[in-house]
């Protein structure tokens, strides 16, 4: 007879091994894996249902109605194919909206964002009352577009507005004018309102990025003899790059989809001089009851935004997204 060694412990019948063989992969029990999948499913499905019902279905329905001559009542039945889309490329109003959208983007990138960056750099310094100035410059962004539109409609009212009165009091009556009521001045005046309204948001983005830059880098560069411009050029700008790229992306998308501020102030007038793509879509769909054509414009807005987002993420934000994914994998 052979006896069983006392140092070998027998596992109970039906028990699972605590770990796999040395060097082999560790596998979790099947029941636990199924439970994890069910938990993920339970948390994901409600969100997917809401996203599908509130986002995907309206988008698909809008694309569907873009192929019909539909006034918005009953179900669409007058199928016209791609006529609404061919009409877009020949419509001078739509082409003008594209040009004005490009001007809005150029204004944001050339004037608004550099000004916001300059203010952020200034308010990142040790200045007395800088917290108050940050709050003061960010406050316009907190105001709703409706309040902003009504406020500046009163300020730039011809003759009786605050702007004309201030200019008249200092002897500059000739600079006053019709502001929003003249085709030659409506866009510059609208740019001024947009800059006042939105630059504070981008300024706060840049401030957050600036405060994430270690001050030791600037101190080391200062000791090496670098002046303020060299420190800004070779330290601040490169490290602020991801924040600047996000700011540009949000600014361009916002300019493409701009609606409420323009609608409150000018409703696209005078004579389409301040009209944007979104204002044109709303006018055709809800004012003229040409919903099919309005949905074709909305499809164009969606396509333009999508193409820009894909190209921008692929070629401009590629390093940022790859870095985020790498950090996420390393944290697992």
> Of the ranges 19-23, 27-31, 143-147, which one carries the lowest mean pLDDT score?
19-23
Predicted pLDDT at 328: 44
Question: Across residues 80-108, what is the average pLDDT?
Answer: 93
Q: What is the mean pLDDT of residues 248-255?
A: 94
> In this predicted model, what pLDDT tens digit does every residue of 271-310 receive, in sequence order?
899 999 999 999 999 899 999 999 999 999 999 999 999 9
Q: Is the model's pTM score more than 0.85?
A: no
Residues 6+ apart with CB under 8 A from 83: 69
Residue 7's pLDDT is: 47
Confidence (pLDDT) at 127: 84
What is the model's pLDDT at position 49?
93
Confidence tier at 52 by pLDDT (50, 70, 90): very high
pLDDT at residue 15, as a whole number: 47
What's the rounded Cα separation, in Å, for the pair 193 and 88?
29
Q: Kindly tell me the sign of the dihedral angle through the C-alpha atoms of 140, 142, 145, 147.
A: negative
Contacts of 150 (CB under 8 A, 6+ apart): 264
pLDDT at position 256 is 93
pLDDT at 34: 86
For 239-283, the three-class secondary structure string (H helix, E strand, C coil) is: HCHHHHHHHHHHHHHHHHCCCHHHHHHCCCCCCCCCCCHHHHHHH
Q: Which residues pair with 79 in a beta bridge?
A: 68
Give CA separation, 249 vs 99, 105, 115, in Å: 19, 10, 17
| Mean per-residue pLDDT of the chain | 86
Name the percent of the chain lying above pLDDT 70: 87
pLDDT at 128 over 80: yes
Residue 332 has pLDDT above 90, yes or no: no
Backbone angles phi, psi at 177, to 5 degrees: 180, -155
Which residues touch 211 (CB under 8 Å, ≥6 apart)?
A: 124
Cis link prior to 172 (omega < 30° from 0)?
Answer: no
Name the CA dihedral angle for 57, 62, 65, 66, rounded to a multiple of 10 degrees: -150
> What pLDDT score was predicted for residue 28?
53
| Cβ burial 185-203 (10 Å sphere, 16+ → b, else e) | ebbebbbbbbbbbbbbbbb
Region 242-254: what's the mean pLDDT? 94
More confident call, 175 vs 310: 310
| pLDDT value of residue 14 | 47
Choice between 2 and 89, residue whose per-residue pLDDT is larger: 89
Residue 329 pLDDT greater than 90, yes or no: no
Question: Does 147 score more than 50 pLDDT?
Answer: yes
- Please give the backbone phi and psi of residue 219, each rounded to the nearest 5 degrees, phi first: -65, -40
Res. 165: pLDDT tops 50: yes
Q: How many Å separate Cα 3 from the centre of its chain?
A: 76
Q: What is the pLDDT of residue 40?
A: 87
Q: How far is 18 from 9, CA to CA, in rounded Å? A: 13
Q: What is the pLDDT of residue 291?
A: 92
Q: Give the model's pLDDT for residue 31.
A: 82
Name the token pair of 142.
Answer: 């907190």
User: pLDDT band at 53, cuts 50/70/90?
Assistant: very high
Measured CA to CA, the distance from residue 108 to residue 251 in angstroms comes to: 7
pLDDT-based confidence at residue 2 (cuts at 50, 70, 90): very low
């Amino acid at each position: 007879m052979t006896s069983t060694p006392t140092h070998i412990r027998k596992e109970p019948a039906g028990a699972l091994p605590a770990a796999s063989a040395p060097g082999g992969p560790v596998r979790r029990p099947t029941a636990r894996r199924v439970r994890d999948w069910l938990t993920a499913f339970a948390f994901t499905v409600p969100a997917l249902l809401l996203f599908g019902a509130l986002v995907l279905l309206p988008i698909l329905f809008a694309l569907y109605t873009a192929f019909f001559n539909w006034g918005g009542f009953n179900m669409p039945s007058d199928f016209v194919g791609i006529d609404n889309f061919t009409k877009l490329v020949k419509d001078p109003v739509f082409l003008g909206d594209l040009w004005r959208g490009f001007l809005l983007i150029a204004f944001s990138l050339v004037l608004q964002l550099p000004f916001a960056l300059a203010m952020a750099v200034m308010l990142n310094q040790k200045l007395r009352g800088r917290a108050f100035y940050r709050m003061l410059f960010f406050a316009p962004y907190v105001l709703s577009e409706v309040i902003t539109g009504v406020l500046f409609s009163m300020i730039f009212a011809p003759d009786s507005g605050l702007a004309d009165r201030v200019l008249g009091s200092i002897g500059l009556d000739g600079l006053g004018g019709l502001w929003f009521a003249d085709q030659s001045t409506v866009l510059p005046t609208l740019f001024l309102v947009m800059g006042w309204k939105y630059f504070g948001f981008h300024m706060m983005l840049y401030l957050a990025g600036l405060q994430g830059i270690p001050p030791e880098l600037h101190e080391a560069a200062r000791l090496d003899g670098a002046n303020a411009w060299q420190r800004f050029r070779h330290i601040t700008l490169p490290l602020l790059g991801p924040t600047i790229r996000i700011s540009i992306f949000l600014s361009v998308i916002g300019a493409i989809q701009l609606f409420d501020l323009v609608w409150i102030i000018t409703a696209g007038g005078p004579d389409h001089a301040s009209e944007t793509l979104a204002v044109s879509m709303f006018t055709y769909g809800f004012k003229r009851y040409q919903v099919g054509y309005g949905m074709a414009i909305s499809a164009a807005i969606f396509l333009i935004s999508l193409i820009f987002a894909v190209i921008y993420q692929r070629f401009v934000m590629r390093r940022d997204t790859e870095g985020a994914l790498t950090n996420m994998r390393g944290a697992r």
